[in-house]
Amino acid sequence: MIEKESDNVENVEENVSEEVNLNEDSSVIEDQTNQDKELYVESNEKINAEDLQNTITNNDARLEQLEKEHETLKSQYVRIAADFDNFRKRQSRDQDDLKIQLVSKALTAILPIVDNFERARQQLKPDSEEAQTLHRNYQGLYKQLVEVLKQQGVAPMRVVGQQFDPNLHEAVLREPSEEFNEDIITEELQRGYHLEGKVLRHALVKVSMGPGQQNSQEPEEKDKVEEDIDSESNISEDN
């Protein structure tokens, strides 16, 4: 009986010991499992952090590339827009210049007619009633012609008493003058005209050499020049 109890005690102790060992083994296994989980989590976190960093780096690089492409396209757009604007302005300027050239050519052909009208007006002496009627009709036509020229932007030059300017005037004669200083226009031989601020025809003028200056042209040469001008006027009137 005593031996059986002793065996039971031993069995109980063994069972208790086995349970203790099992508990210890379970604790070790659980600790190992927890460590493995922690290592796995840390490893995943490390991998995720590296992936995230790589993604951020790639996105930054892509963003930088897109910004460069945007700046390049923007520069191209600005350049193309500027080129187109310059082209449009150049086309408009060329069209205006062509228009002025065509108008200038047409008006230049009309100016000799205006000159003849003015010469005829100076020569007409309406003494009789018939001559006065003719003079009024002539004046009406002359005013219409002048009005048409004015509508086209043509304006006559006023030159007498002005400083001689080779860009506006053409000096036919130079003579001494007690009234005018040197290089002052003393007489208009043929009227000059402007068109929209540009010279349509230069004015033919006499220019003062100042008081006490000797004339650079002999009287015969001066008469010849005046005869040439009169001859040109007669040809224009005949045409």
Q: For 157-190, b where at least 16 C-beta lie within 10 A, e where not — what string?
A: bebeebebeeebbebbbbbbbeebeeebbbbbbb
pLDDT (0 to 100) of residue 201: 92
The pTM is what?
Answer: 0.52
Residue 194: name the closest of 169, 171, 172 by CA: 169
The gap from C-alpha 123 to its chain's centroid, in whole angstroms, comes to 52
Residue ranges of domains in the chain, CATH in brackets: 154-239 (2.30.22.10)
Q: How confident is the model at residue 133 (pLDDT cuts 50, 70, 90)?
A: confident
Choose the weakest-confidence range: 20-34, 37-51, 170-184, 187-201: 20-34
Three state DSSP letters for 142-197: HHHHHHHHHHCCEEECCCCCCECCCCCEEEEEEECCCCCCCCEEEEEEECCEEECC
Model pLDDT, residue 164: 93
Q: 44-102: per-residue pLDDT in tens?
A: 666 677 777 788 888 888 888 888 888 899 899 999 999 999 999 998 888 888 888 88
Instruction: Report the range of poorest mean pLDDT among 21-30, 51-60, 159-168.
Output: 21-30
- How high is the mean pLDDT of the chain? 76
pLDDT at 210: 82
